[in-house]
Structure 1
């Protein structure tokens, strides 16, 4: 597996050091991964809260952990030696849903199908016939959106997903607790009750404790379509499970070479390769998002809600798999052993293998364990 990072850019991340029995904050220096963990900056949260995290990442002294590619090769489901972790630590991972028209229609279909993939094809055809491409030109929260809402209610297809798709308020939910996201090479988990599910390739923004956007990375918001489709009140069960959130491979800090406009132009690709020989290819173009990333950050953090340790924010996906894998009309669903690769030229590649959440490595190293570890190393 390869990180596929571009040659330029300021990249930071986290790696597990068995000799420290804990994580290290790392920065890319050429081909090397340099451990820059120190008392001033012991965590990713502390780095992002600096006034100039880029300068620190580029110039802080540290010890080489070898090449990044060697770390990537060691980042497996059963890692040996130092390996990559998700770049977030004390930050919760939040996620935005229904930010693209195509995925919004699929959420409506999930709701109408009540989690039954066999009903999805007929419902998809009906919804498309009614809605067509009309939603693409609608600005969420606008007068036109309100008028469209009245028409759709009259046609009997109004949905809670349309409410957050074209209404004034974005859907923002909690995807993963601090320290629980998995990184490059790890297993991603499906709850055992799910039989209809898919990956969701997304851009993830890293924000500091003041809500400032500091950088971007990639994420897989593993989605249980059947569970969420049964009831919106099952969103937590559908989204937040052991190993159900992957982030990485590294965080690209905003600097002179990369910024928010690059995020707005990002083109993500997705490949799912099954042990059965099945291959699924997908894409997600940020140019088609219906809400600007800055608006999504503002709806997440502000006077109404503070995140003193910062947060990572998944921006949603255009990708909604409808290609049949086994049974005609039932679309795509994961099989155990699927390898998921999410790539973007300026952010690299995030690769993970699909397992059941109950079979992934259990989450045992939380915030309290991190504090004890850092204190024991003299870093607090």
Structure 2
């Protein structure tokens, strides 16, 4: 995992583990160098995202070089005496929206109807496809047309809780990971060992201030355990929130006159999975096919009904549906240990991670209390 593809334009914000400070540093990129801009004003990424003009602050912040982008991006992750990239968020809550695209909606119904059994997926997919086809693709969630489709599906015995959040008035929003637990560029990403049917989920991740203002975007992998969640939606937390199961990065592209919400709405994400067995999977997710506007998803997550004093990062969901067979006909794709997952989008770079079991990934040991003590010892609080 030595290839480096970080955002090359605009103002970017991220975090690294600083070997000098033996703790996280807030960084940006300038002229091919990783610049440490950590200060009392900008002790955390959260602090910068709460400013009136985050991109302006980062653009003008003084700092010092920690090395070349290539050197830092290819340094071994988790080695304390090597400066390496971390997930670009810190104190923000990590939230995610599910079933926001028509294609993934249908696949979630298949997971539920198959009760986590991949061998049943092809038959159910054919049946649902013959009844629904592409009729969900252009439906506005919560509209009168969506209600008519809902009624038709109920009559066919195919209504599902996944379709409810896909085309009903209320979006699915869940907690993906704990504060400071997400992994970043180059880290191993984890699968719970009970899962035998799973896949990556390439997504745009918005960075949102405590006031609900969207200040930037990055990429994320919302790992999906299809068999676990397919057995019961009540297993969502068990399926989603595990050691190293959430990857975000490589850096946050802060909004300014060069990049903003319209770029997010029109973003084209590409996914590549390369297995040690020679298998290659290519996928795409087009944000212009999302069934709910990203700003609506933010409003359903943070507001008078739910406050987040340190802001949030919000996964927006994915169009990608892993139907290509890997091992057995009709069972679709599932990960194998050692897979390299790359998620890319213009202006946001590439998030690259290797797949392992969550029980084999580096344990998460640096929490909020450790961060506060570290910053205090460095005179930053």
Q: Give TM-score, length-normalised by structure 2.
A: 0.98
Distance in 2, Cα, partners of 1:236 & 1:158: 23
2:74 partner SS:
helix
User: Are 1:104 and 2:105 counterparts?
Assistant: yes
1:224 equivalent in structure 2? 225
**Structure 2 CA distance for partners of 1:190 and 1:79, relative to 1, 3 Å:** farther
RMSD: 1.0
Contact residue 282 and residue 319 of structure 1 kept, 8 A: yes
1:192 partner SS:
coil
2:301 equivalent in structure 1? 300
Contact residue 11 and residue 59 of structure 2 kept, 8 A: yes
User: Are 1:45 and 2:46 counterparts?
Assistant: yes
Distance in 2, Cα, partners of 1:76 & 1:27: 18
1:229 partner SS:
helix
Q: Give TM-score, length-normalised by structure 1.
A: 0.98
1:320 equivalent in structure 2? 321
Question: Residue deviations 1:251-285, cap 9 Å, x none?
Answer: 00001100000000100000000000000000000
Distance in 2, Cα, partners of 1:64 & 1:222: 34
1:56 equivalent in structure 2? 57
1:203 partner SS:
strand
Question: Residue deviations 1:159-202, cap 9 Å, x none?
Answer: 00000000000000000111000000000000000000000000
Question: Residue deviations 1:318-360, cap 9 Å, x none?
Answer: 0011111011111100000000000112100000000000000
**Structure 2 CA distance for partners of 1:260 and 1:372, relative to 1, 3 Å:** same
Distance in 1, Cα, partners of 2:265 & 2:297: 13
Task: Give the superposition deviation at 1:30.
Answer: 1.7
User: Are 1:242 and 2:255 counterparts?
Assistant: no
Distance in 2, Cα, partners of 1:259 & 1:235: 31
1:364 equivalent in structure 2? 365
Return 364-373 or 52-61, whichever deviates more. Answer: 52-61
2:206 equivalent in structure 1? 205
1:259 equivalent in structure 2? 260
Task: Give the superposition deviation at 1:148.
Answer: 1.3
2:15 equivalent in structure 1? 14
Distance in 2, Cα, partners of 1:78 & 1:114: 41
Distance in 2, Cα, partners of 1:61 & 1:295: 36
Task: Give the superposition deviation at 1:79.
Answer: 7.3
Structure 2 residues without counterparts, runs of 5 or longer: none
**Structure 2 CA distance for partners of 1:102 and 1:79, relative to 1, 3 Å:** farther
**Structure 2 CA distance for partners of 1:250 and 1:3, relative to 1, 3 Å:** farther
Return 54-63 or 346-355, whichever deviates more. Answer: 54-63
Question: Residue deviations 1:89-120, cap 9 Å, x none?
Answer: 00111000000000000000000000000000
2:95 partner SS:
strand
1:89 equivalent in structure 2? 90
2:137 partner SS:
helix
Counting matched residue pairs gives 380
**Structure 2 CA distance for partners of 1:214 and 1:3, relative to 1, 3 Å:** farther
2:177 equivalent in structure 1? 176
Structure 1 residues without counterparts, runs of 5 or longer: none
User: Are 1:374 and 2:370 counterparts?
Assistant: no
2:27 equivalent in structure 1? 26
**Structure 2 CA distance for partners of 1:270 and 1:26, relative to 1, 3 Å:** same
